């Protein structure tokens, strides 16, 4: 898996397939993809803000002549960091799953703008979003949310030049409408956020069982390269590891739910387990615990967007306090 550099910009991952990477892959720093053959091209996802998408499109156009006029744009799902640049791909026919299209207006650029402007009044969740995204310099001015022109339910087969591209809707998983983009001859799959490479997954909607099934589908493909929605390029090895993690996580949460532990306590216990991978953004664990508790019928659990981010904020504070206490105890001994 170390054969690909994790560097910002465009990398060729197949004969006519490319990945556009944005380290460090945490909140807002998503990957995108390009499939080209002859004078035709397909773009997989746009980025979180207009300037980032402009830079990506210019880089692609310089490197790949077919990318000077994108024919098709596929949005793998409706999260903001994969769709907010859509308006800039003016020549493209935009395709998404029917379920993803239904989620495009769930959190709009205007919603992010309100959070950024009023974060001090909106509580812990808004503070967390502001600290993660505002400090990175993200701006949401002038974004016109541009929705798909065409949707499909289960599978859509496309041609890019002479190459076959298969779109498979595998949601609900990370979201209701996740789509895998398989460049068949290039032996590459673009997963969107069905794979977070080196980071804890964002699991607060969709279906954990559906996510496991999506991993099974990826593992069934004849591919060499997996382009994740966030993080470094990888292959099937990491997909298998991620699949195993999802099942392990589900079992650990279920045990604690049945033992009567609160959401916060379950998350704080799981983050200390020796089997937990050393991935970034561990605060996402509490969002995933909240999601599973909600599925299990817990009245403690929330489905509110800002309240979930508030869980992240409080989790980080509690974990930091525990670490300080632990260090003090060790120092005392």
pLDDT of 233-263, one tens digit each?
A: 999 999 999 999 999 999 999 999 999 999 9
Dump pLDDT digits (tens) for 131-170.
988 777 898 989 999 999 999 999 999 999 999 999 999 9
Q: Are 83 and 45 in contact (CB under 8 A)?
A: yes
Domain ranges of the chain: 9-108+145-244, 259-332
Dig out the tokens for 18 from the structure. Answer: 């490319």
Give mean pLDDT, residues 108-135.
91
Query: What does the alpha-carbon distance between residue 114 and residue 240 come to, in Å, rounded to a whole number?
Result: 39
The answer to whether the CB of 11 falls within 8 A of the CB of 239 is no
Please state, for a pLDDT cut of 70, what percent of the chain lies above it.
96
Quote the strand ranges of the chain, DSSP E: 9-14, 17-21, 32-37, 40-44, 72-74, 93-97, 150-152, 155-160, 163-169, 179-183, 188-196, 225-230
Neighbours of 117 (CB within 10 A): 12
Q: What kind and span of H or E run contains 329?
A: helix 305-332
Query: H-type helices in 38-178, by residue range?
Result: 50-63, 98-101, 109-118, 124-133
Residue 169 makes CB contacts below 8 A (sequence gap 6+) with: 97, 98, 99, 100, 152, 153, 154, 155, 177, 178, 179
The whole-number pLDDT of residue 323 equals: 62
- Look up the pTM and report it: 0.94
Give me the CATH code for the 9-108+145-244 domain, please.
Answer: 3.60.15.10
């Amino acid at each position: 898996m170390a054969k690909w550099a994790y560097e910002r910009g465009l990398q060729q991952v197949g004969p006519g397939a490319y990945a556009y990477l944005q380290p460090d892959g945490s909140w807002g720093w998503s990957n995108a993809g390009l499939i080209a053959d002859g004078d035709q091209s397909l773009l997989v996802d746009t980025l979180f803000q207009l300037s980032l998408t402009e830079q990506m499109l210019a880089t692609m156009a310089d490197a790949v002549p077919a990318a000077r006029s994108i024919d098709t744009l596929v949005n793998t799902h409706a999260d903001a960091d994969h769709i907010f640049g859509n308006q800039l791909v003016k020549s493209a026919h935009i395709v998404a799953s029917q379920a993803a299209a239904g989620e495009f207006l769930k959190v709009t650029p205007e919603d992010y703008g309100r959070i950024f402007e009023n974060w001090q009044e909106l509580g812990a969740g808004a503070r967390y979003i502001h600290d993660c995204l505002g400090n990175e310099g993200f701006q949401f001015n002038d974004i016109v949310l541009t929705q798909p022109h065409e949707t499909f339910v289960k599978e859509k087969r496309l041609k890019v030049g002479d190459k076959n591209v298969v779109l498979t809707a595998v949601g609900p998983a990370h979201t209701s409408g996740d789509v895998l983009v398989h460049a068949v001859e290039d032996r590459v799959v673009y997963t969107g956020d069905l794979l977070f490479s080196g980071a804890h997954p964002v699991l607060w909607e969709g279906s954990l069982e559906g996510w496991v099934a999506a991993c099974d589908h990826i593992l069934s493909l004849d591919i060499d390269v997996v382009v994740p929605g966030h993080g470094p390029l990888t292959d099937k090895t990491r997909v298998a590891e991620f699949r195993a993690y999802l099942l392990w996580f589900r079992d650990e949460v279920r045990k604690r739910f049945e033992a009567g532990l609160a959401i916060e306590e379950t998350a704080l216990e799981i983050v200390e387990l020796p089997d937990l991978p050393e991935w970034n953004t561990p605060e996402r664990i509490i969002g995933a615990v909240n999601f599973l508790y909600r599925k299990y019928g817990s009245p403690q659990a929330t489905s509110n967007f800002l309240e979930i981010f508030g869980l992240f904020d409080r989790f980080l504070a509690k974990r930091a306090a525990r670490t300080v206490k632990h260090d003090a105890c060790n120092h005392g001994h």
